Chain A
Amino acid sequence: MRVLAAMSGGVDSAVAAARAVDAGHDVVGVHLALSRMPGTLRTGSRGCCTVEDSNDAWRACDKLGIPYYVWDFSERFKEDVVQDFIDEYAAGRTPNPCMRCNERIKFAALLEKAIALGFDAVCTGHYAKVITDADGNPELHRAADWAKDQSYVLGVLTHEQLKHSMFPLADTPSKAEVRAEAEARGLSVAKKPDSHDICFIPDGDTAGWLAEKIEMSDGEILDETGTKVGGHTGSNQFTVGQRRGLKLGTPAADGKPRFVLEIRPKENKVIVGPHALLAIDEIKGIKVSWAGLPITEVATGAEFDCYAQVRAHGDPVPARAFVTGVTADGVTRENLTVTLGEPLRGVAPGQTVVLYQGSRVLGQATIDAARSLARPELP
C-alpha cells in the first residue's frame, strides 16, 4: 500500500514508520507544521513541532530511506483545534484538543490530502490497533500494552477514517521495547523524551495562556451550600475536579481539601466542595460517533453493557449505556446516556467519554452533563 507516515519527530512515530517500511509498504514521511512560528529547539518535553522536531523526523526518514516532506496545516489547526480549545473554555467546558486534532487534522485534513495525492493510509505511532472483520469492516481496539494504550484519543475516529488508518505499534508489549527497537535501527530519537501536555502551550501554563485569549473577570467561589469561600480572576481557568490553584481564603469545616464541582460561566461562579461530591454516576453525551460499524443496540435504542473511560489514561469503569435520537432544527442526532457501575470523579463537561466492550472501542461522545443519580443538584 502507499502509506503516509505522520512523523512528529518522536520515537513512536519513527518506529511506526520503520515497521511500515519493513512490512513492504511504499512509505513517505510527513511532518505536520501546526504552528506558523515554530520554535527552533525543543525545550524540555513540553511543546512539539519545533524546527528541531522537524529535523529529527527528517533524520529518521533519511535512515529509513524514505522521502520526507513538511506540510503546513497551521491554519486548519488554529481553527479546528486551538480556537475550539478557547471556545470550550470560554463556555465553561473542558476541551480535549488531542481528540480534536486526531478527529479534524491527522485523520481528516491530512488524510484527505493523502488520499488525493494517491496514498491508501495514514500511519501514526499511536498505541492502538485496527482489526478488520470478515466483511472488511474496521474495528478499533486497545493496544497490547494497556498502560500505553492510546485508543481513547482515537475513539473519535469514524468507520471511514479507520479504514485508512494504520497503527504499527499495536502489539508492542511496552514503550521500552519501542525505544530499544529505535536504538537497534540506529534512529537518533531512541532516547528523546516523550512530549506531553498541550502541544501549543509549550510552557504548560494553560491558565496564563487562556488569560490572554479570553476576557476574564473577577468572580466568586462558592461552596456546596452556596456560601462564598473565595474569589477568582476568571471562571474559565478552572476545570471540574481541580484541586490546585483555588487559593481559598476560608478553609473547609472538616479541614479537608476542596475540589471544583461545577463551573457556571454565565454567572462567572465556581462551585467547590469535598471530594465525595465529585462522584457522579450518570453521563449524558452529545456529538456521538462510532468507531467502525455501530453495534445493533445503537439503532434499537436498547441498553447495552460496556466500559466507560473519561480520561486518556484513566481506568475504565463498568457501565450500561443507551442511545436516543434527539431532533433539533429538523435534524435528528444521537444522544448517549451512560449509567456507571462505579462512580467517577472529576468528570468535566466538554471532555470525552469513550465506550469499550472488551478491548474494542465502540465509540465516543462529548460529555454534556454529569450527575449523581442519588444527589440533588447544587444550589
Chain B
Amino acid sequence: MYLDHAATTPISAPALAALTSVISRSGNPSSLHGAGRRARATVEASRETIAAAAGAHSTEVIFTSGGTEADNLAVKGLFWSRRDAEPQRTRILVSSVEHAAVQDTVEWLQKHEGAHAVWLPVDANGTVNLAALEAELADGGADSVALISCMWANNEVGTIEPIAEIVALAAAHGIPVHSDAVQAFGSVPVNFKDSGLAAMSISAHKIGGPVGVGALLLGRAVRLTPVQHGGGQERTVRSGTLDTAGIAAFAAAAQDVTGNLAAESQRIAGLRDAIIAAVRAAVPDAVLRGTDPALDPDGRLPGNAHFTFPGCEGDSLLFLLDMAGVESSTGSACTAGVPRPSHVLLAMGLDEDTARGAQRFSLGHTSTPADVDAFVAALPQAHARAKTAGMAAHVSSIQTASTR
C-alpha cells in the first residue's frame, strides 16, 4: 500500500498516453523544418495547457528538468540579476522550512556568492511568521533584499503558507517573491497571476506526470540570470533541447489534475482524515504535525498526514511498515540513506528526539479506502515493535565485559 505520494505518484493514464504516443516521434522543437515544427507545435500546445492550468500566460512557462532545477534557476537567477542591478541587494529572506532544493541553493549563495540568508521563523504548525518578515523589511531593511522565497505548501507536514500576505508585504517594497509550489500545484488551487509572484516552481512527477520535467513560472517583466547557458531556448532563460514527450505528458497530467481539483482534493482529504483518526485511535500519544485540518480545513494539503510517535525511531517505523507492505516516509531528506532529524520539525520547535520519531503518510490519485484499511491494520503492531526498538539505538541493556 503506497502512502508516499508526496515523494512521487504513479503516472496517470492521460500522461502515460501522451508520453508514449509522442516519444516515438522524433524532431527537435528548435529545428525549422517539418519534423521540428511538428515537435514544436506539441511543445507549444503543452505550454498553453500548462499555462492555463497554472493561471499564467504561456510566455510565463519556462520548461526545466524538474522542480529542483526550477528552484535553483529562480533563486540563483533572481539573486544574481538583482544584485547585479543593485549591488547592495545581497539579502535573501527565506522560510526556515524550505525543501533542500531552495535551502541548499540559498546556503550555497551565502557561502560562495556573497549572499546573506535570513531564515524566517515559523510557528509550531510550520507557518511563516509574517511579523518577522515585516520587521526585516522595515526601516530601510527592504533596500538590501534581493528576493524572498517561501514555499506554497510544505512537503513534510503539509502546512500551507500565507503566500498572498507575503507577496503583499514584498510588493510594497518592489521585492520579487519566488514560491516553490511543487507540492501545492495540483493539490490545492494555485493561480500564478492572482498570486502576484515573480516566480513559481512546479514539477510533473508530483501530479502524475513523468520524472524529468518541470517548469518555472516566471513573470514576463522579471529579469533572471540564467543558470544553464546554450542555444537560448525558453526566452534565453533556460537553454537546452526540450523534452517534447515529457512536456506533452506534463501537460496532460496538469490538465487532468486541475480539471478535477475540487472533487479529487475532497476525496483525498476524506482519506487523509480517516488516517488521522485511525492513528489517533491506535496511538493516543502520537502528535499530528502541521496545521490541523479540523481547525483550518484550507490550511493543510489534502493528501498529507504527518505524525511524531513518542519513543519510536522513524526509521524503525518505516522498516516495520515496509515489511507489512505499507510504504511511508520519515519525511526528511536523506544522506546516504540515513534519515536525519528534519530541519522543518526543528524549525517548528521540536527537539531532536521527538523529531526522530516522525512519519509522513501521503495520499494521491491512486489511493483508495483499501489503502487506509491496510494501513490501519498494520499500524498497531508496527508501532508496538518500533516502541520496543525505540531506545535500542541509545541505551543498550546487553551486558558485556566493558559494562559489568
Contacts and interface: CB of A to CB of B under 8 A. Distances in A.
Interface in A140-170: 156-158, 160-161
Contacts of B401: 103, 156, 158, 287-289, 364-366
A51 B394 contact: no
B335 A51 contact: yes
Interface string A71-104: 1110110000000100000000000000010011
B389 A113 contact: yes
Contacts of B393: 71-73, 75-76, 109, 113
A333 interface: yes
A72 B386 CA distance: 15
A111 B399 CA distance: 12
B396 interface: yes
Chain A: interface residue count, which band?
Answer: 35 or more
A38 B334 CA distance: 12
A117 interface: yes
B316 interface: yes
Interface string B374-396: 00000000000110111011101
Interface string A52-85: 0011001000000001111111011000000010
A358 to B, nearest CB: 23
A157 B320 CA distance: 28
A116 interface: yes
B389 A156 contact: no
Given A104-B402, A117-B385, A364-B401, A112 B396 contact: yes
B398 interface: yes
Contacts of B396: 76, 104, 108-109, 112
A163 to B, nearest CB: 11
B311 to A, nearest CB: 12
Top 7 A-B pairs ranked by shortest CB distance?
A116-B389, A70-B337, A289-B401, A113-B392, A112-B392, A33-B338, A108-B398
13 contacts: A69-B337, A71-B315, A72-B315, A104-B396, A108-B396, A112-B398, A113-B316, A116-B385, A116-B390, A117-B316, A117-B319, A117-B320, A156-B400
Given A108-B398, A117-B320, 14 more contacts: A31-B337, A33-B338, A67-B323, A70-B336, A72-B315, A75-B394, A103-B401, A108-B396, A108-B400, A109-B393, A113-B316, A113-B392, A116-B392, A161-B400
Interface of A: 31, 33, 38, 51, 54-55, 58, 67-73, 75-76, 84, 100, 103-104, 107-109, 111-113, 116-118, 156-158, 160-161, 287-289, 333, 364-366
